[in-house]
């Protein structure tokens, strides 16, 4: 029996063990508030905790800038199912356990996505750790932007979006995980994730010469809207009354884009702080990525085309086709001031 449990669930125990080793120093001092923007986000979480403790829904924060919205704020995470941790744990332990749970689910999701693609066991494990233990995730956590952990639902969103092409009922699950990412507090990553799904489905429509893939795409959208409505409707009302109009700034050169992925140091010539554009994955993973792209680009044509689309997007004004400028003209995307953060 023990052997069968290890065979079936051993990889998940491995994920948890390695994650605890890697995450251990962060968990060690659970009372530490942290640095920089962690104070801002933890302050808002503390106010939401108090609202719930007094039997109130966290709609308004009277202590922030003379009063400000809470659930209607794009970065609010107060109605995420994981916020329930705050009802049982002190503030900082609740935040850190929440981060750990999301990182673990990111590992599991990437592993399941790899199994869908029939990758080897070693390939699955490698992809899972590259996805979770990389510069993008950890620079954001270190800076205090822990609402970024919603990106850990990305493998589940892609997995169930792909499966919805075979069985439309999976579109409900894809919409569910997209809504979870939104409720976790990082609205911009949800915008780009949905954009990725749309590009994948457009490529599928072009390949199949059929409009049938539109149905699961609509299903994903409806599922997302229904589940996230409790936050989405107040948010749309708030940003309609208080639009954030930005001027689009720059974009990567191809050289800078490669440096961002393989260099563990700050990159001269980029106008933002490191945590805003850093996406370190390392030289070896980057070589593995290039090898996989060269060997399997036909088999994964949908993702190859999507990759080209997003490379052109993050290059912004340095791209031969300035897709970033077009995207910036659309609702919601107009508040994004730079393509750098997309990486």
DSSP letter string, 171-212: HHHHHHHHHHHHHTT-HHHHHHHHHHHHHHHHHHHHHHT-ST
Q: What is the value of pTM for the model shown?
A: 0.91
Contact 303, 296 (CB under 8 A): no
Distance CA 172, CA 83 (A): 22
- DSSP annotation of 67: -
pLDDT at 260 over 70: yes
Mean of per-residue pLDDT scores for the chain: 85
At residue 5 the predicted structure's pLDDT band, cuts being 50, 70 and 90, is: low
Angle between helices 301-315 and 254-262 (to 10 degrees): 110
- Tens of pLDDT, residue by residue over 271-287, are 667 667 777 788 888 88
Contact 252, 314 (CB under 8 A): yes
How is residue 182 written in tokens? 């939104």
Beta pairing, strands 68-69 & 60-61:
antiparallel
Q: What angle do CA 169, 174, 175 make, to 5 degrees?
A: 95
What is the pLDDT, as a whole number, of residue 219? 94
pLDDT at 147 over 80: yes
At residue 239 the predicted structure's pLDDT band, cuts being 50, 70 and 90, is: confident
Q: What is the mean pLDDT of residues 118-132?
A: 89
pLDDT at 34 over 70: no
Q: What is the mean pLDDT of residues 78-102?
A: 90
Q: What angle do CA 335, 336, 338 make, to 5 degrees?
A: 145
Q: Which H or E run includes 68?
A: strand 68-69
- Tens of pLDDT, residue by residue over 285-332, are 888 888 888 888 888 888 888 988 888 888 887 788 888 877 777 777
Distance CA 84, CA 65 (A): 26
What is the pLDDT, as a whole number, of residue 271? 66
pLDDT at 265 over 80: no
């Amino acid at each position: 029996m023990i052997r069968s449990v290890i065979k079936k669930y051993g990889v998940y125990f491995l994920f948890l063990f390695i994650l605890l080793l890697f995450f251990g120093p962060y968990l060690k001092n659970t009372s530490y508030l942290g640095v920089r923007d962690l104070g801002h986000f933890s302050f808002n979480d503390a106010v939401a905790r108090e609202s719930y403790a007094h039997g109130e829904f966290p709609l308004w924060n009277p202590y922030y800038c003379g009063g400000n919205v809470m659930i209607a704020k794009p970065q609010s995470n107060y109605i995420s199912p994981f916020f329930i941790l705050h009802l049982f744990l002190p503030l900082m332990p609740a935040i850190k356990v929440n981060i750990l749970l999301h990182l673990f689910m990111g590992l599991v999701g990437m592993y399941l996505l790899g199994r869908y693609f029939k990758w080897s066991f070693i390939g699955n494990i490698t992809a899972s750790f590259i996805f979770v233990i990389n510069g993008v995730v950890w620079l954001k956590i270190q800076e205090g932007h822990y609402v970024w952990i919603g990106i850990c639902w990305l493998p589940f969103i892609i997995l169930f979006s792909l499966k919805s092409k075979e069985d439309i009922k999976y579109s409900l699950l894809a919409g569910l995980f997209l809504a979870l990412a939104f409720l976790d507090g990082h609205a911009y990553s949800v915008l780009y994730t949905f954009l990725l799904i749309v590009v994948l489905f457009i490529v599928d429509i072009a390949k199949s010469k059929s409009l049938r893939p539109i149905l699961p795409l609509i299903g994903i959208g409806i599922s997302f809207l229904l589940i996230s409505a409790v936050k989405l409707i107040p948010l749309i009302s708030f940003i309609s009354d208080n639009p954030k109009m930005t001027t689009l700034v720059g974009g990567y050169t191809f050289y800078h884009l490669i440096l961002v992925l393989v260099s563990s140091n700050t990159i001269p010539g980029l106008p933002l702080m490191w945590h805003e554009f850093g996406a370190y994955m390392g030289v070896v993973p980057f070589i593995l990525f290039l090898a996989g792209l060269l060997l399997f680009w036909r088999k994964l044509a949908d993702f190859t085309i999507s990759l080209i689309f997003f490379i052109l997007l993050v290059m912004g004004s340095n791209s031969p086709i300035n897709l970033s400028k077009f995207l910036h003209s659309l609702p919601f995307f107009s508040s994004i001031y730079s393509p750098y953060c997309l990486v």
